[in-house]
Amino acid sequence: MTVTTPPIAATSAAAAAPVAFWRLKGFPLIPVLILLFIALVAIFADALAPYDPQIGSLARRFRPPAWQEGGSMAHLLGTDHVGRDVLSRLIFGARVSMVVGITAVLVAGGIGTVLGIVSGYLGGWVDQVVMRVTDTWLALPALTFAIFLAAIVGPSELNIIVILGLVYWTRYARVIRGEVLSLKQREFVRLAVVAGCSKSLIMRRHILPNVINSAVVLATLMLGVVIVTEASLSFLGVGVPPPKPAWGLMMADGKKGLMVGYWWLTVFPGLCIMLMVLSANLLGDWLRVKLDPQLRQL
C-alpha cells in the first residue's frame, strides 16, 4: 500500500464570499426591517414630522395622545411640557439616535480595530501599552467614564460622538487583538512573512480583511449599548443638549409630568429606544452565530 500525503493548501487571505444573506435561515427579518424603518424615518424626518420639533406653544402643553380624553388628532401622541408635538420630536429624535449611534460605533470601531490589529500583530511593548490602557479603561464603567468626559468638555452632539468613541474602542481592541493573535499563526500569514512582505502590508492586506467579520458583528452588538448610553447621558442632562430632540432627553423632560400621570412623555421615547436596541441586539446575535462560530463566546 502506498503512503499518500495531502497537498499543502497555500491559500491567501480572503474574506468570506458575499452571500444573499437575507435568504439565510433564521435571518432576523423584523429587527432588520425595524432598523431600516428607523433609518428611513431619520433620513426623511423633515418630510415626515407634522410639526417643528423645537417649537411649541404653551397654550397646548401636556396634551395627551389622540385616543385619550383631551387629546386630538392634531397631536397624535400628545405634547410635552412646553407644548411641542411628541410625534415630531420622536421622529427627529430618531435622526439623533441614528446619527450619534452609528457614528460613535464607527469611531469606536475604527480606533479599536486599528489598535487591536497593531497591538496584536506587533506584540512587544506596543501590545503591552495598549493592553494596559485597555484593561484600565475597561475597568471604568462606560457610563461613569462618559459622564466624566462630558462634564469636562461640555455637551454637544459632536462631543458625545467623540466621547462614546473614546469610551467604547477598548471593547473592540480586546476582541480584535484576540483574533489577530490566532491569525498570526495561520499559514498564509507565515507565507507572507517568509515572502518578505512588510509588516504594514501584512496588517493591511492579510489581517484586516479577516477581522472585518468580527468587527462588523461587534459593531452591531455595540450599537445597542451605545444608544442606551447616549440616552442615559441625555437623560442625565449631559448628552445631546436641548432643544434638540433626543429620546433620552425627552424622557428626562417627561419625568416632570410623570407624577401627575402624563405617561406618554415617558413611555413613547422609551419604546423607541427599546425597539431600536432590541433590533440591533437581535441582528448582532444572529450575525455573531452566522459569521463566525468562534465569536460565540462574545
Partner 1 sequence: MSSEPLLSLQNLSAHYVSQQGTRVVRAVDEVTLSLRAGETLGIVGESGSGKSTLALTIMRLLPTAARIVSGRMMFEGENLLDKSDAEMREVRGKRIAMILQDPMASLNPLFSIGNQVGEPLRVHDGASRASAWERAVGLLKSVRIASPETRVAQFPHEMSGGMRQRIVGAIGISCGPRLLIADEPTTSLDLTIQAQYLNLLRELQRAHGLALIFITHNLGIVAKMCDRLAVMYAGRIVEQGPVSRLFSAPAHPYTKALLGSIPSMADSRERLTAIDGQPPDLASLPAGCAFAPRCPEAFARCHAEAPPEIPVGDGCTARCWLATPHGRAKPTMTRSDMGSDVGSDVA
Partner 2 sequence: MRQYILRRVGYSLLSLFLLSLTIFLFVRVTGDPVSLLVEPGASPEDIENMHRQLGLDRPLWEQYGQFMASLATGDLGQSFYYRTPVMDLYFQRLPHSLLLAAVAMALSLLIGIPSGILAAVRVDGFWDSAGKIFALLGLSLPSFWVGLVLILFFSVYLGWLPSSGSGGVSHLLMPAFTLGWYFAAAHMRLTRSSMLEVLGSEYIKLARLKGLPEAWVIGKHAFKNALIPVITLAGINLVVMINVAVVVETVFAWPGIGRLLFEGISFRDFPVVQGVVVIGGAMIILVNLLVDILYALIDPRIRLES
SS3 category, 79 = strand
CA atoms within 13 A on the CB side of 133: 15
27 vs 188, beta carbon nearer partner 2: 27
Q: How far apart are CA 16 and CA 66, in angstroms?
A: 50
Q: Please, what is the minimum distance in Å from the beta carbon of residue 1 to partner 1? A: 5
Count Cβ atoms below 10 Å from residue 205 Cβ, excluding itself. 13
Non-local (6+) Cβ contacts of 225 within 8 A are 142, 168
- Is 79 within 8 Å of 64 (Cβ atoms)? no
Query: Going residue by residue from 2 to 41, which x/- string records binding to partner 1, judged by CB under 8 A?
Result: xxx-------------------------------------
Q: Please, what is the minimum distance in Å from the beta carbon of residue 187 to partner 1? A: 21
56 interacts with, out of partner 1, partner 2, none, CB within 5 to 8 A per kind: none
Q: Please, what is the minimum distance in Å from the beta carbon of residue 113 to partner 2? A: 21
250 interacts with, out of partner 1, partner 2, none, CB within 5 to 8 A per kind: none
Peptide bond into 243 cis (omega under 30): yes
Q: Please, what is the minimum distance in Å from the beta carbon of residue 133 to partner 2? A: 6
Q: What is the largest CA-CA distance in the chain?
A: 96
Sign of the CA dihedral running 245, 247, 251, 252: negative
1 binds partner 1 (CB under 8 A): yes
SS3 string of 183-229?
Answer: HCCCHHHHHHHHCCCCHHHHHHHHHHHHHHHHHHHHHHHHHHHHHHH
84 vs 290, beta carbon nearer partner 1: 290
Q: Please, what is the minimum distance in Å from the beta carbon of residue 15 to partner 1? A: 28
Site residues for partner 2 per CB under 8 A: 132-133, 135-137, 139-141, 143-145, 147-153, 224, 228, 231-232, 235-238, 248, 251, 254-255, 258-261, 263, 266-267, 270, 273-274, 277-278, 281-282
Q: How far apart are CA 109 and CA 169, in angstroms?
A: 6
2 interacts with, out of partner 1, partner 2, none, CB within 5 to 8 A per kind: partner 1
245 vs 248, beta carbon nearer partner 2: 248
232 interacts with, out of partner 1, partner 2, none, CB within 5 to 8 A per kind: partner 2
Q: How far apart are CA 176 and CA 168, in angstroms?
A: 13
8 vs 152, beta carbon nearer partner 2: 152
Interface residues with partner 1 (CB under 8 A) are 1-4
